[in-house]
Chains A and B, each alone.
Chain A
Amino acid sequence: MPEVEIQFTVNGISRKICTAPHRTLLQVLREDLGLTGAKDGCSKGDCGACVVVMDNRAVNACLVLAARADGKEILTVEGLASDGRLSHLQQAFAEKWGLQCGFCTPGMLMSSYALLLSNPQPSDEEIKRAIAGNLCRCTGYSPVIDSVRHAAALAREAGHVW
């Protein structure tokens, strides 16, 4: 099968890869780039464990062909912390126990990140809608919603965005 060449930015680093055209962004991230933060929970867009941010929007990486990411900017959970320091969003999830087993957490974080990019002070209803595609079987969601609300407050206090 002829391969396609993809050039994109992942967590701020420019990458060029060749891959079979049927492979998904999730497969390329996990298998070719070793970025296993995004998870495969269902392979068909039902669970949201694979959510990454592509050009500032949350997408299910299992439903995006890798070739579609050509020229795009991708942010995964591995790109949230900088110089070993957790972002406000990660810090808020830690403090509010917005995670338990942690398998849905990378997707949950990235959906929340995309929300806060476009809406830095979301209402609870807006938070719920933003993570409605991210299934979580452990927390019951309210700790996650608390975390995102807390992250917005931390960022506001610190006077900067993500």
Chain B
Amino acid sequence: MSGNVIGVPAPAVQYRQLLTGAARFTNDLPMEGLLVGKLLYSAHPCARIISLDVETARSLPGVAAVLTHADIPGENSYLYHIPDQPLLASDRVNYLGDAIAAVAAEDEESAQAALQAIEVVYEPLPGAFDPLEAMRPDAPVVLPGYANVIPSALFECGDLQTGFAEAEVILDNTYYTSWIEHAYLEPEGALAYVELDGTIVVYASNQAPHRDRMQIARALKIPEHRMRVVTPFVGGAFGAKDEAHVQIHAALLAQATGRPVRIVRTREESILTHVKRHPVIVRHRLGARRDGRLTAVQIEIIGDTGPYENAGRFIMGFAASVASGPYHTPNARIESFAVRTNNPIGGAMRGFGGPQVCLAYEAQMDALAEELGLDPLDVRLRNALESGQVTPMGGIVREAGAVRATLEEAANNAGWRERNKIERQPAAHLRRGLGLAANWFIIGMGRGQDNAGAILEMATDGSVVLRTGAVEMGQGVYTALATMAAENLGVPLEAVRVIGPDTDKTLDAGPSAASRQTFVSGNAVLRAAAIIRRSLLETAAQETGLPIEVLSLKGGRLYAEGELLNYTIPQLAAKATFANRPMHADGYYAMEFPEELSTKSDYIGVGPSAFGTQIAQVLVDVETGEVIVEKIVAVQNVGRIINVGGAHGQMSGGCTMGTGYALMEELIVAEGRTLSDSLESFLISTSLDAPEIEIRLLEIPEPYGPHGAVGIGEPALMSTAPAILNAVSDAIGVRLNRIPLTPERVLDAIEGAKR
């Protein structure tokens, strides 16, 4: 359903800069007298630092500064949630990504020489590298002063014992996922300098500029209003840049030297040091009647979160929130834990714990269908969540019509009911299969801080400046917000210019995370636009003598009940400005939680829901174990399509990333050491691996969404891996429980079934 601007095909608003090379990413920003910043990272995953000597390094030519923990004026902590992660390690290191010293030098060679001249004597300590072992009482303490186990969520509803007693079939299976590297094309980076008035300025490839400002200011011990964070073009983020990387260190070096400093991680550093998607163990026990109706679900989720809590508690908490999937589960117990180890840090990545649990609940639905001899589609339809039902965490889903609708739409488009007619064995060594997976994602930060400001300004010629603190990282938020502004102000999309995050110029919009910005910043834009629109219409009413109710704005012109009047928006804008009517406005929106949406969860899982279904068709080579994804039918409810190219791009990108998650992506971590430290050893899909994807977007409006829209970025990926896993199971006739489905694992499964 398209409006005047909404839903009308249009390029991304920043396309010209991106296509001409004019777009400046952090590493492209020109700066006179720039120092090269580098960090010295730990040589051991777990060790005591016996001594640290930086004097030689400091005395080398070309070296401007070498900082250690002793040189940090403020708090030596990332302060993401609790102060457990130091910016620069003092007495011990807890994973390979711990930084020990920060160097600034005149050039790359001098900076490298300084790193090599830093003398660190370590005493290696026994670490904890397996989350299940780390949960044992006798396990080594990963971080002194903190328990290894971080209980993240416990949701109970109904009566579990009665539920299992009512069950005619019980399935108890455990599912495993791997460490995943975000592999955005732009490694983390930041550029910091000191303004003449002493203000510290940081340009950073980030997702949460206002949180960055707080974190940096506290480390530098300066007031936040003396700190300015700007987000230039960001080359992908997928959750990892929601967490500080080198921006605090760059600012410390700029403060210490008074010179501009840029730190950009190498690809190897990026893989070795920054956060990854948690590998998760999901034990999923379900009970059901013979007709497929669920009577009880018991789920235990354990995520390896590395040494520091970071967002681990929230990610495992969110995983628990959505672990029952888009199904009505009257009797449930869901518990999740983040577990400290000396492995990489588990952090946010597209889906925030959702993809791991989606794999488990969707594999279980297929296992249940197989056990009962039912169609997997029917089992899902029988349990499909309905609007107004209470979920295990105690929240009510306000609009769930899309569960059934996406299941049916996907089934119809993939020929699901006729799937037995497909050629199952096109050659002696090939087997074909189809797999289905639905998903449930909750938009937003839950009951925590979840608000956004946006500033709109219409000039006297009718052109519009939109200032947003929402980070554009490729997901299309600038285009979505500009489209909504244009629609509501009656101007063409080209009349809107977007100014992105700069804490000196834009309001806090919270992070570009949780698929929330279209929703939250979108609503903020609508509120600001309403004020300016009112000014235009009041002016028009005065000019024409017509009642305001009959007037409307579209394509830069004024209409009365659909009839074009002889007034343009530039004329009205000029008149409204001179008549002292407000032509600029701040919009503020905070996520709304209706009273009935009470929940046991303080901070997660109570926002608007997104639902989707995907069906994968695969071909398995039973001699080599290779899996080829022939096609994915991906159906997602987006509430309202704001920009069709952007929405489709999120789906195709999500499905392709999900295909990699299912088949090839696996960061190999052994005893805390990441062995696959390049894009040559950690493989992501290339153009030759990407599946054919048929995309169907539904527009069942979300009651509180701007123009009915809900987020799509994370939901796009959720169903792909379980759909492929179920399709491979269908093809080879063996249930599977671990991704990625490498050729070795597929062959092992086939061999195992023969024995």
Contact = CB atoms under 8 A, between A and B. Distances in A.
Interface stretch (A32-40, A64-72, A153-161): A32-40
B18 A99 contact: yes
A105 interface: yes
A138 B649 contact: yes
Nearest to A107: B185
A46 B233 CA distance: 22
Contacts of B237: 101
Given A36-B24, A44-B267, A137 B652 contact: no
Contacts of A116: none
Nearest to B186: A103
Most buried by A among B15, B266, B679: B15
B653 A138 contact: yes
B492 interface: no
Nearest to A129: B688
Contacts of A61: none
Instruction: Specify which of A37, A42, A49, A129 lies most central, judged by the most chain B CB atoms within 10 Å of its CB.
Output: A42
A37 B27 CA distance: 11
B20 A78 contact: yes
Given A41-B267, A101-B236, A137-B183, A94 B19 contact: yes
Contact of B687 (A93, A102, A131): A131
Interface in A66-114: 76-78, 80-81, 86, 90, 93-97, 99-106, 109
Given A44-B267, A103-B25, A143 B474 contact: no
B266 A43 contact: yes
Interface in A7-40: 30, 34-40
Given A78-B21, A140-B693, A101 B649 contact: no
A128 B16 CA distance: 24
B686 A132 contact: yes
B138 interface: no
Contact of B649 (A46, A106, A135, A143): A143
B687 A137 contact: no
Given A36-B24, A143-B648, A102 B187 contact: no
A36 B28 contact: yes
A137 B474 CA distance: 10
B657 interface: yes
Given A46-B680, A142-B690, A137 B18 contact: no
Contacts of B27: 36, 39-40
A101 B184 contact: yes
B4 interface: no
Contacts of A59: none
Given A101-B473, A102-B23, A95 B687 contact: no
Interface string B65-83: 0000000000000000000
Interface string B668-704: 0000000000111000111110101100000000000
B99 interface: no
A135 B651 CA distance: 17
A134 interface: yes
B230 to A, nearest CB: 17
Nearest to A49: B185
Contacts of B646: 97
Interface in B632-661: 645-646, 648-649, 651-657
Contacts of A54: none
B327 interface: no
A144 interface: yes
Nearest to B234: A101
B235 interface: yes
Contacts of A36: 21, 24-25, 27-28
A90 B19 contact: yes
Q: Which of B18, B24, B266 has the most CB of A within 10 A?
A: B18
Nearest to B686: A132
A47 interface: yes
A139 B20 CA distance: 19
Given A43-B267, A46-B679, A140-B655, A103 B11 contact: no
B20 A102 contact: no
Q: Count chain B CB atoms within 10 A of each CB in A78, A102, A106, A109 and give the residue with the most.
A: A102
B85 interface: no
Q: Which of B21, B25, B182, B652 has the most CB of A within 10 A?
A: B21
A137 B684 contact: yes
B476 interface: yes
Contacts of A106: 21
Interface string A119-150: 00000000111011111111111111100000
A44 B687 CA distance: 19
Contact-residue bracket for chain B: 35 or more
A141 B19 contact: no
A7 B576 CA distance: 59
Nearest to B690: A141
A42 B18 CA distance: 20
B515 to A, nearest CB: 15
A140 B654 contact: yes
A148 to B, nearest CB: 10
A103 B475 CA distance: 13
Contacts of A39: 25, 27, 185-186, 235
A33 B15 CA distance: 24
B12 interface: yes
A99 B19 contact: yes
B11 A95 contact: yes
A139 B11 contact: no
B588 interface: no
Given A97-B645, A138-B236, A140-B654, A105 B18 contact: yes
A104 to B, nearest CB: 5
Contacts of A80: 19-20
A90 B653 contact: no
B203 interface: no
Given A41-B267, A140-B657, A102 B652 contact: no
Contacts of A102: 14, 17-19, 23, 233, 235, 474
Given A42-B267, A86-B20, A106-B21, A134 B687 contact: yes
B440 interface: no
Interface in B309-326: none
Nearest to A78: B21
A41 B185 contact: yes
Most central of B185, B267, B678 by chain A CB within 10 Å: B185
Contacts of B12: 94, 97, 99-100
Interface in B614-634: none
B30 interface: yes
B238 interface: yes
A132 B687 contact: yes
B654 to A, nearest CB: 7
B19 A105 contact: yes
A101 B646 CA distance: 11
Given A37-B20, A77-B21, A104-B235, 10 more contacts: A37-B21, A37-B22, A39-B186, A44-B680, A95-B11, A101-B234, A101-B473, A135-B684, A138-B649, A142-B652
21 contacts: A36-B25, A41-B267, A44-B678, A49-B185, A77-B21, A93-B15, A94-B16, A94-B19, A97-B11, A99-B12, A100-B12, A100-B476, A100-B653, A101-B185, A101-B237, A102-B235, A129-B687, A135-B684, A137-B238, A140-B649, A141-B652
Give 8 closest A-B pairs by Cβ, nearest first. Answer: A37-B21, A101-B474, A103-B235, A140-B656, A102-B18, A100-B474, A97-B645, A140-B652
